[in-house]
Amino acid sequence: MQKTITGFSKLTKSEKIDWIVNTYFSNNKSAKTTLEQYWNSNKKLQQLHDEFIENTITNYYLPFGVAPNFLINGKTYTIPMAIEESSVVAAASKAAKFWLDRGGFKAEVISTTKIGQVHFTYDGNTEDLINFFKNTKSKFFKDTKSITKSMENRGGGILDIDLKDKTKDLADYYQLHATFETMDAMGANFINSCLEQFATTLKTEADHSLSGNVDVIMSILSNYVPNCLVRAEVSCKVEDLTENSKTSAEAFAEKFIQAVKIAEIEPYRAVTHNKGIMNGIDAVVLATGNDFRAVEAGVHAYASRNGTYSSLTHAEVKDGIFKFWMEIPLALGTVGGLTSLHPLVKLALEMLGKPSAKELMQIVAVAGLAQNFAALRSLTTTGIQEGHMKMHLMNILNQFEATSQEKEQLVSHFKTHTVTHSSVVDAINNLRNN
């Protein structure tokens, strides 16, 4: 059957689904039912979801869980997390409880500056362009006044604009490199609107003042935000570190720090190490309606800022005190976008006490640090699979459509047996055969 179509976006939702089902699922009688069963029975709410993106045919659900007992800067939080991976919420909760009686987490926002750029080429004399920019800089601010007025009233706006000469890297290439403060908004639309006005002003003024030709390539914010930084840390006396009598606190601390140092110098380990951090960060970013793809891109670029991909977290023992910390770039918002539209996002932010963007940065960073602590603690003691596979047990049981009674018996069985996919399959088969 022909798999291309003209005018798909103009079809009704039902017509879109019929085309999808007839084209791709002609032998799957339940395909249409599967798509429709994820619709929300509340028509108004479903319409809201339909209008978030284009060509919506159904909803894709992720579990929305919570990790309680997070003590951050003396205040207790229950952190919402939207994620599908087994053991993430459990690990975060376990780390939160561990540090609850050891002073909790400390977090601080170091800076909140964001970046946007107008990328352009100029084929004339560089000195002429530099002088032109000096004479025109004030007009860039003036021409964006209508855009920046509301943001300035909230304490934000355009902080500065610089001219960057990049011709050593690419012929005739220059940038207008602008810094912004967007307060409680993530600020993408605000920044991009300012940049597009910069581009218009640049082109208009250059045509009147420069002999060379200015050609604007594009105007866009950057998701690399090395100056939008938050720090999170935990610390305690070394002797307070362990709950396991089999391992001394000193031995645990030494092994833990060594594991972090390996991630600092070995990219193959660092990628997985940092992925674990992002398990916690992405889950909270998604639950609070923020852009986890932008956060991921910016964080991984930051992890490579010194020329080699490296660990985001660090650890040390000094004067008998164990310290574990992380500085990470996070551009987040608590107003605008989905934060004011998605009902669960509203609840998530309310659960967190309606935080400012800075407070949310701290909460998200702590979630990432907690996740990494829990992972390293498991890796350097029992191993990662013991806890992870026990959490994954229910997924395997659901794959085999285990009944409630079977689940109860098998969960009890695996309290004292190692969980692997094959061992679960064998146990299900033995149970059913008997």
C-alpha R_g of the chain? 26
* Amino acid (1-letter code) at residue 316: E
Annotated active-site residue in 85, 108, 240, 250 = 85
3-state helix, strand, coil in the chain (%, to 5): 50, 20, 30
User: 362 in helix, strand or coil?
Assistant: helix
CB proximity list for 145: less than 8 A, separation 6 or greater: none
- 94 included as an active-site residue: no
Is residue 365 within 8 Å of 107, Cβ to Cβ?
Answer: yes
Annotated active-site residue in 237, 275, 358, 407 = 275
- Residue 18's φ and ψ, nearest 5 degrees, are -60, -40
| Run of H or E including 281 | helix 267-287
User: 130 in helix, strand or coil?
Assistant: helix
Least Cα distance to 279 among 84, 99, 96 occurs for: 84
Least Cα distance to 263 among 273, 253, 254 occurs for: 273
What angle (nearest 5°) sits at the alpha carbon of residue 74, between those of residues 68 and 79? 25
| C-alpha pair distances (Å), 396 with each of 85, 100, 409 | 13, 33, 14
Q: How far is residue 63's CA from residue 65's CA, in Å, rounded to a whole number?
A: 6
Helices 267-287 and 292-303 cross at an angle (nearest 10°) of 150
- 291 included as an active-site residue: yes
Q: How far is residue 432's CA from residue 335's CA, in Å, rounded to a whole number?
A: 53
| C-alpha pair distances (Å), 246 with each of 239, 253, 415 | 14, 14, 20
Annotated active-site residue in 181, 196, 282, 291 = 291
Burial class from Cβ neighbours inside 10 Å (0-12, 13-18, 19+) for residue 315 reads: buried
Q: How far is residue 142's CA from residue 152's CA, in Å, rounded to a whole number?
A: 13
The residue to which tokens 């934060």 are assigned = 339
User: Would you list the DSSP string of 19-88?
Assistant: HHHHHH-TT-TTHHHHHHHTS-SSHHHHHHHHTTSSS--S-----EEEEEEEEETTEEEEEEEE--STTH
Residues annotated as catalytic (active site), given as ranges: 85, 275, 291, 388
